[in-house]
Structure 1
Amino acid sequence: MCGFVALYNIKNHPVSSEHLKEMTDVITHRGPDDSGFFTDCQVGLGFRRLSIIDLEGGKQPLSNEDGDIWIAFNGEIYNYQELQAWLKDRGHQFKTESDTETIVHLYEEVGFDCPKHLRGMFSFMIWDRKKQLFFGARDHFGIKPFYWTETEDFFAFGSEIKSLLKVNGVHKKVNPTSLYHYLTFQYVPDPETMFDGIHKLPPGHQVMIKDGKLTIEPYWKVEFTPEEKPFSYFVDGTRQILEESVLKHRVSDVPRGAFLSSGIDSSSIVAMLRQHEEVKTFTVGFDIPGYSELDIARDTSQFLKTDHHEVKISAERYLQELPRLIWHQDEPVADPSAIALYFVAELASQYVTVVLSGEGADEFFGGYNIYREPHSLRMFSSLPGSMKSALRQVAGVLPDGVKGKSFLIRGSKSVEERFFGNALIFSEELKQKVTMSNLSNDPAYVSPFKITSEIYKGAAGYDDVTKMQYLDIHSWLRGNILMKADKMTMANSLELRVPFVDPKVFEFAAKIPTKYKIAEGTTKYVLREAMKDLLPPQIKTRKKLGFPVPTRVWLRGEFYSWAKELIYSAEVDEYINKAYVLYMLDEHKEGKVDYSRRIWTILIFMLWHQIFIEEKYCFGPFVSPYIETRRKNLETFRVG
């Protein structure tokens, strides 16, 4: 796990190492152990290393034996040993035991099909001297970030936007369309970012520059292929593929641990990991009742006999760290749990360099409670369109708060009309209030329906639950779940691994029929049955809790004055109707309406704007204070 940058000078001018160093210095937190640079005429690669595999030999940028193919790579390849053995049989000569060199020789062997063979998390750029081309790719689901931009002089690539902001000709400017989408989804959907002119390479895509022209194309796509087989087949197969994935994700030359919450996802990972080794586990919680998983995680730890560690976060500390953590995120992501994740990562970084976690289980195995909605709305499925339209009109005139109004509205809509993913913060009507704009007359405006409808096209023919999973994999998983997981762990120089988010695991999960995913009044039914003998009984039946953070409570108390001051001081009047935001804040404080998610979404954008656009905060290279402690732990790990 590391960070990379890459430059391609469009005018064929030399790239300077000093420029690359400036770009990599700002992401020192991603790789505090080492740095490296390579330049060749109009191209340059820069790298920051967090040493995980082949501690001595895995330095980057790295080349083949002839020095005509160079790579900068962020991530881990879990099938690299099998690929390495195959490549050696094909006559390739290796000088290291690193997974990085495996990608180089794989590219030599199969060319642009290289990413299709990789099992892991990755973003990389390869410079092919002979062919004079730049080639890069991002992993199947977007575990690792990959940003790019174009200026008059450069194509620039990197693991974080902060690096690209150091490129000559890149200007810090808000993308108004991205802001509109952020207000819907609480993050900016691929392929755009909140910065005008800076883009994400979508997961499962590759990029190539040849003769100064950039092209992007997919190398893989998500496909669900349900099979009619006995329930036991899917239970046994789920257990088998997950155990195999956890084994693959154990590979490292540094100490490992795991995050542990109150749910089945992380508990399953810990239980499978515990079958092979002693495990250190880490949990975060809060003082407020209903907002802490500490007790349940502690009980699970005792059941699994792990070496457990926990941290409890106060409102004061949460708010104190918030600006720097928004800086680490690069873009505004209005998920309060992202900040909580930072604190448990900080705790883990005192003991280990690698942690395993349970992200992705909900999207792959059908775990979100909202996935039960199609079953609850099944009575509407046989109604003709005209009757559904009439029901919607009737519901529309009912006063807010009338029981059944929301049920009628949602039942009268198709899944494509009602489901935007796991977050729908502001409706189109409310967005016009909060931005003081008539969106329909704005030529730059793109409806969020345009974003989701393009995704739904790939799910045509699936049942409604599978359509919801498909949408979440293409939006919520990559835009929120994996983004916050990467940024908040790497802020602590900690490598996060997600065994559920694995191509082989998905390949099997995609075969499970919906009747086995949503069953017996619960979600993730196959997964629960597959794991039941490894976990405490209460974990198997526990409903999805999420990662609760008490911002709802704090905005009525400890955060109220801070929020009000931020609203007044942020220079975002051209984007945000501050009077309406202040109205929501006061209504929320008085307990009249729960506006916490909407308020938090606006506040995070305002804080992001102060940090990146107004530059009211100054953050430099940051390295976890626990790095030296971890290095001592590594020596103990080697001896042990």
Structure 2
Amino acid sequence: MCGIFGTLNLEIANQASEIFNGLAHRGPDEKGFTIKDNVELYHTRLAIQDLSPAGQQPMHHHGLSIVFNGEIYNHLELREKYQLYAESNSDTKTLLMLFERLGMKMLEELDGMFSFALYDQRQKQLFLARDRAGKKPLYTYQKDKDFAFSSELNTLYQIFKPEIDESSLSAYLYLGYHYRKATPYKAVTELENGHYLKIDTQTGKKEIVKWFDMSTCYLNRSKMSYQVALHELDQKLQTAVKRRLDSSDLDVGSFLSGGIDSGIVTAMAAMHKPSLRTFTVKIEGAYDESLLAQKVADRYKTNHTVVDISFDDLKDDIEKILINYGEPFCDSSAIPSYYVAKAAKKHVTVVLNGDGADELFGGYRRYVPYKYHDFFNAGGFSKIAAQTLLSILPVANEKKSKYNYIYRLLKFASYKDILHQYSSASSDIFVGFENQFLQKPNLTAIYEDLGRINQLHLSPLNKLLLMDFQTILFSGLLPKMDIATMAHSLEGRSPFLAKEIIEFVPGLRDDFKINCLSTKFILRDLGRKYLPAELIDQPKRGFEIPLKNWVDNQLKNIIGDYLFSNNTIYPSLIQKKFVEDLWVRKVKISEERRAKILFDVFALEVWYKNINNTNKKPAFSRTETASTLV
């Protein structure tokens, strides 16, 4: 895993030390730099494949130069298929040879996670590309004729100081993440998953190409029987796991929760690698999955470590954790992800995980009703009925309760607007409080995308799964794990996001995913082959984050200091009175949602003060503090 940076028509080699410092956590082992014509390429390396000097970057081959971040797990298979030969076993070298043979059509062959910049000196063309799911980040900066790209938003900001985009920040507050191409800056965009950018380096002409479209995988409906599908899934997932073990010259470990996703991955990995290192999180005050994880570890005789997370140091670490993202980021599960990655790095440099399984197979409870009813196109009567019931029911406060599930079901059934409905079913932060915004959120892109998906000839369940793949997985969940792991120079690998799995699972019948009330049915069935019986019917939990407790206790003072200082940005975006009323519980809202909104705004302020060069612990000049509002 690595960090990449580059420019076109800019001469900034005198700032190389700043660039390398900004990318160092992504690649602490080596750094490299080259200038070819009007293109500058920078690279920091986390050496995992081909640890010899032949694997160093930028890498050159027959007039081609590349800086590459990621792993191509099937690259040796592709060398054999296309009869490519090189002394180095580097997957980066394979990319250069494949490009020489196939051009950018090579992307369709790759099983891997990647972002890269490839300069063809012969044709004077620069290509930037990302993988199917968007596992590895890539941001571009464009102002007039100046162009740059980077793995890190923080590094782009440090070098170019782009102007803040307030409408994008409002959209972040509303959604809880920056949607797809959006960033906090006017001159910076994110290259989307399954896309590449082609630039003529002489004329500056640019073309964005969508080389992979997830919707085609859903439209390609499978007619195979259940037993055939189960067998195919088993074989494809075994291949994905084995590739991710074999494509490393370092030890590979595995995150192991008490759930079926990481359990199956771990079981398959342990069959290929004796004494596999496994890591389970045990969170103080949350449901303890370590006992279930231990059963898997015992069955496969893994070298198992239980990571106890107490959050005693959270108030000292929270700013550092959030600043790593380079943009406002409010998913509180980033916090335990950070700590477990830190613990795993003490033992391994590469770790497997179960990312993507829930969004592909239907792992969340909210998917169940969409299997049986089209909430996106429900009639007016059902919406009025849902609104009426909500008006007389008490607010749901217990996140995991059956009542909360029913209450949220009524909420997203009550909305006529597709974005309100989708956001209510997923992030559920500012839905219903749109009148509190002073700066209108820029939500055009997500409205258009959700509307387009809703017009596809897909079942309601598959529409929701596709929406989640394109929204919360790409814009929230994958960046969360990428930043959490790379903050500690740890590489995370996701077998469920393998080429063959992504292309196979969407086309399966709905009842293979949701069967009666059972989520990810076929995956649970596969789990019966590999896992102890106690794990199979366990509900989806994920990291059980005590956010309400944090907001009211460990983080109360620091959140209050940030929200009620003189130097805040959120009052230009939303009504400050609304935040003040939330703080003193004058808004009719569940405790869980209150905590989410306050943390959402807090994450914005941590980002804002960081880019304004505040100290780690700001010396606020307060006109009113959190305590004066209690």
TM-score (norm 1): 0.87
- Give the Å deviation of 1:425: 3.2
- Give the Å deviation of 1:492: 0.4
- Which of 179, 185, 208 aligns to 1:189? It is 179
Alignment correspondent of 1:280: 277
Unaligned runs of at least 5 residues, structure 2: 397-402, 619-630
8 Å contact kept, 1:391–1:409: no
One-letter amino acid matched to 1:578: K
- Which of 92, 111, 135 aligns to 2:127? It is 135
Alignment correspondent of 2:2: 2
> Whole-Å Cα distance in 2 between the matches of residues 588 and 46 of structure 1?
52
Alignment correspondent of 1:558: 554
Alignment correspondent of 2:359: 363
8 Å contact kept, 2:176–2:429: no
Matched, 1:226 2:221: yes
Alignment correspondent of 1:107: 99
Alignment correspondent of 1:635: none
Task: Report the count of equivalent residues.
Answer: 598
Deviates more, 1:368-377 or 1:116-125: 368-377
8 Å contact kept, 1:181–1:448: no
Alignment correspondent of 2:161: 171
- Give the Å deviation of 1:25: 2.0
> Whole-Å Cα distance in 2 between the matches of residues 421 and 409 of structure 1?
7
- Give the Å deviation of 1:416: 4.1
- Which of 159, 170, 178 aligns to 1:180? It is 170
- Which of 139, 146, 149 aligns to 1:157? It is 149
> Whole-Å Cα distance in 2 between the matches of residues 607 and 565 of structure 1?
11
Q: Map of 1:459-470 to 2, 5 A cutoff?
A: 460-470=456-466
Cα RMSD, aligned residues only: 2.7
> Whole-Å Cα distance in 2 between the matches of residues 609 and 477 of structure 1?
25
8 Å contact kept, 1:366–1:523: yes
Secondary structure (helix, strand or coil) at the match of 1:456 reads: helix
> Whole-Å Cα distance in 2 between the matches of residues 464 and 74 of structure 1?
36
- Give the Å deviation of 1:182: 1.5
- Which of 421, 435, 438 aligns to 1:432? It is 435
Could you say if the C-alpha distance between residues 303 and 585 of structure 1 is closer, same or farther in structure 2, counting changes exceeding 3 Å?
farther
One-letter amino acid matched to 2:241: V
Identity of aligned residues (%): 28
> Whole-Å Cα distance in 2 between the matches of residues 617 and 62 of structure 1?
38
- Give the Å deviation of 1:185: 2.3
8 Å contact kept, 1:556–1:588: no
8 Å contact kept, 1:455–1:474: no
Unaligned runs of at least 5 residues, structure 1: 620-640
- Which of 568, 572, 579 aligns to 1:571? It is 568
Q: Deviations over 1:387-446 (max 9, x none)?
A: 34543564575465498776555445579462238633334541432x4x2x6xx5x743
Alignment correspondent of 1:58: 55
Q: Deviations over 1:66-103 (max 9, x none)?
A: 3x11000000001110222234x3xx552421000111
8 Å contact kept, 1:187–1:333: yes
- Give the Å deviation of 1:382: 11
Alignment correspondent of 1:631: none
Matched, 1:600 2:599: yes
> Whole-Å Cα distance in 1 between the matches of residues 204 and 389 of structure 2?
56
Alignment correspondent of 2:230: 235
8 Å contact kept, 1:16–1:39: no
> Whole-Å Cα distance in 1 between the matches of residues 278 and 333 of structure 2?
18
Matched, 1:37 2:33: yes
Secondary structure (helix, strand or coil) at the match of 1:419 reads: helix
Could you say if the C-alpha distance between residues 160 and 382 of structure 1 is closer, same or farther in structure 2, counting changes exceeding 3 Å?
closer
8 Å contact kept, 1:610–1:617: no
Alignment correspondent of 2:481: 485
- Give the Å deviation of 1:535: 0.6
Alignment correspondent of 2:75: 80
Alignment correspondent of 1:582: 580
Alignment correspondent of 2:626: none
- Which of 450, 453, 458 aligns to 1:453? It is 450
Could you say if the C-alpha distance between residues 323 and 408 of structure 1 is closer, same or farther in structure 2, counting changes exceeding 3 Å?
closer
- Which of 281, 294, 300 aligns to 2:296? It is 300
- Give the Å deviation of 1:124: 0.5
Could you say if the C-alpha distance between residues 136 and 258 of structure 1 is closer, same or farther in structure 2, counting changes exceeding 3 Å?
same
8 Å contact kept, 2:512–2:521: yes
Could you say if the C-alpha distance between residues 303 and 98 of structure 1 is closer, same or farther in structure 2, counting changes exceeding 3 Å?
same
- Give the Å deviation of 1:589: 12
> Whole-Å Cα distance in 2 between the matches of residues 588 and 160 of structure 1?
39
8 Å contact kept, 1:69–1:128: yes
Secondary structure (helix, strand or coil) at the match of 2:542 reads: coil
8 Å contact kept, 1:421–1:472: no
Could you say if the C-alpha distance between residues 588 and 429 of structure 1 is closer, same or farther in structure 2, counting changes exceeding 3 Å?
closer
Q: Deviations over 1:425-473 (max 9, x none)?
A: 334541432x4x2x6xx5x74357625425525x611101110100011
- Give the Å deviation of 1:377: 4.7
Could you say if the C-alpha distance between residues 421 and 542 of structure 1 is closer, same or farther in structure 2, counting changes exceeding 3 Å?
same
Alignment correspondent of 2:400: none
8 Å contact kept, 2:168–2:442: no
8 Å contact kept, 1:53–1:252: yes
> Whole-Å Cα distance in 1 between the matches of residues 230 and 191 of structure 2?
35
One-letter amino acid matched to 1:536: P
8 Å contact kept, 1:455–1:471: no
- Give the Å deviation of 1:582: 3.0
- Give the Å deviation of 1:186: 1.2
Q: Deviations over 1:96-131 (max 9, x none)?
A: 210001111111111121222211001001111111
- Which of 527, 535, 553 aligns to 2:523? It is 527
Could you say if the C-alpha distance between residues 588 and 393 of structure 1 is closer, same or farther in structure 2, counting changes exceeding 3 Å?
closer
Q: Map of 1:329-408 to 2, 5 A cutoff?
A: 329-375=325-371, 377=373, 385-388=379-382, 390-391=384-385, 394-395=388-389, 398=392, 401=395, 407-408=409-410
Could you say if the C-alpha distance between residues 430 and 400 of structure 1 is closer, same or farther in structure 2, counting changes exceeding 3 Å?
farther
- Give the Å deviation of 1:612: 1.9
> Whole-Å Cα distance in 2 between the matches of residues 41 and 199 of structure 1?
25
Could you say if the C-alpha distance between residues 86 and 234 of structure 1 is closer, same or farther in structure 2, counting changes exceeding 3 Å?
closer
Matched, 1:204 2:203: no
8 Å contact kept, 2:315–2:554: no
Could you say if the C-alpha distance between residues 421 and 399 of structure 1 is closer, same or farther in structure 2, counting changes exceeding 3 Å?
closer
Q: Map of 1:480-519 to 2, 5 A cutoff?
A: 480-519=476-515
> Whole-Å Cα distance in 1 between the matches of residues 425 and 366 of structure 2?
8
> Whole-Å Cα distance in 2 between the matches of residues 405 and 29 of structure 1?
43
> Whole-Å Cα distance in 2 between the matches of residues 448 and 579 of structure 1?
29
One-letter amino acid matched to 2:190: K
8 Å contact kept, 2:72–2:111: yes
8 Å contact kept, 2:286–2:545: no
Could you say if the C-alpha distance between residues 202 and 353 of structure 1 is closer, same or farther in structure 2, counting changes exceeding 3 Å?
same
One-letter amino acid matched to 2:579: V
Could you say if the C-alpha distance between residues 20 and 84 of structure 1 is closer, same or farther in structure 2, counting changes exceeding 3 Å?
farther
> Whole-Å Cα distance in 1 between the matches of residues 387 and 360 of structure 2?
36
Could you say if the C-alpha distance between residues 585 and 311 of structure 1 is closer, same or farther in structure 2, counting changes exceeding 3 Å?
farther
Secondary structure (helix, strand or coil) at the match of 1:30 reads: coil
One-letter amino acid matched to 2:311: A
Matched, 1:314 2:310: yes
Q: Deviations over 1:263-290 (max 9, x none)?
A: 1111111010010112111122321143
Could you say if the C-alpha distance between residues 372 and 70 of structure 1 is closer, same or farther in structure 2, counting changes exceeding 3 Å?
same
Secondary structure (helix, strand or coil) at the match of 2:496 reads: coil
- Which of 64, 69, 87 aligns to 2:64? It is 69
Secondary structure (helix, strand or coil) at the match of 1:532 reads: helix
Could you say if the C-alpha distance between residues 249 and 289 of structure 1 is closer, same or farther in structure 2, counting changes exceeding 3 Å?
closer
8 Å contact kept, 2:183–2:189: yes
8 Å contact kept, 1:364–1:469: yes
Could you say if the C-alpha distance between residues 591 and 144 of structure 1 is closer, same or farther in structure 2, counting changes exceeding 3 Å?
closer
8 Å contact kept, 2:376–2:418: no
- Give the Å deviation of 1:174: 2.9
